[in-house]
Amino acid sequence: MPTDAPQPSFVLIRPQMGENIGAAARAMWNFGLDRMRIVAPRDGWPNPAADALASGAGRLLDEAEVSDDVASGIADRTYVYATTARPRELTKPVFSPEAAMADAAARIGRGEKVAVMFGPERSGMENADIAHANAIITVPVNPEFPSLNLAQCVLLVGYEWRRAVEAAPDMVMQGQTIDAADQRDIEALARHYEDRLEEAGFFYPDHKADSMKVNLRNLWSRMALTRADTQMLHGVLRQLLRGKTK
């Protein structure tokens, strides 16, 4: 059974080695975090190598929510951080682990549902993954030797989560609700615009289409929209097209 402590979900994106998933579970539980999600694990799920490494944190693996793609893995989240070695996407806020987890604690205290995404071991997250994130977390490592592995990155963010909770326990437990759009709302909005813009020939030339779509996704996830905002933006698009197709 998961604890009832309000907390962010930690989402492992396409993790490769089972051992690393197990070590990440241990790192989370060291700091009282027990909501693991796993997107498209390379070696399938469940994974005996993960269980072998997790020892006392095996429950997190049993209870992990596994999904096939990033969008499904964070569909119910209202605010998502992506951890990256270097902040490539400069149009999103870039947080230190400490600032990010203080921000996450405040959001969770307002009733938001928060996730932190961690990329695959070798390659890190792709731009299309990061496009789903509202903000970036970068660990201040030695630029000559930035070699944090997956479990170490999970450990540092988990450590900062626990520090944030200890600094302001009441804030996190407050549980007021704001009407933030979750990622499912954002996904629907993004797709709505993408489809209509596709039909309108917006993504041109072809070899730039993918990066234009990523840029557009980044725009939506950066805006911190409420549910009402998304409804309005759907309406805007419908209204624009109504004039056009008639």
Binding site for its own copies (CB under 8 A): 26-27, 29-32, 55-57, 96, 98, 139-142, 144-148, 152, 155-156, 159, 162-163, 166
Closer to its own copies at the Cβ: 123 or 147? Answer: 147
Alpha-carbon distances of 241 from 119, 230, 244, rounded to whole Å: 38, 17, 5
Closer to its own copies at the Cβ: 3 or 239? Answer: 3
Q: Of 92, 39, 87, nearest to 220 (Cα)?
A: 92
245: amino acid identity, one letter: T
Closer to its own copies at the Cβ: 143 or 205? Answer: 143
Closer to its own copies at the Cβ: 100 or 180? Answer: 100
Q: Please, what is the minimum distance in Å from the beta carbon of residue 118 to its own copies?
A: 16
CA atoms within 13 A on the CB side of 196: 17
Closer to its own copies at the Cβ: 133 or 157? Answer: 157
Closer to its own copies at the Cβ: 25 or 189? Answer: 25
Q: Please, what is the minimum distance in Å from the beta carbon of residue 200 to its own copies?
A: 47
CA distance 43 to 121: 13
CA atoms within 13 A on the CB side of 30: 17
Q: Please, what is the minimum distance in Å from the beta carbon of residue 85 to its own copies?
A: 11
CA distance 62 to 70: 20
CA distance 61 to 38: 9
Q: Please, what is the minimum distance in Å from the beta carbon of residue 97 to its own copies?
A: 8
Q: Please, what is the minimum distance in Å from the beta carbon of residue 57 to its own copies?
A: 7
Q: Please, what is the minimum distance in Å from the beta carbon of residue 168 to its own copies?
A: 14
- Helices of type H across 141-226: 150-167, 169-173, 183-199, 206-222
185 close to 80: Cβ distance less than 8 angstroms: no
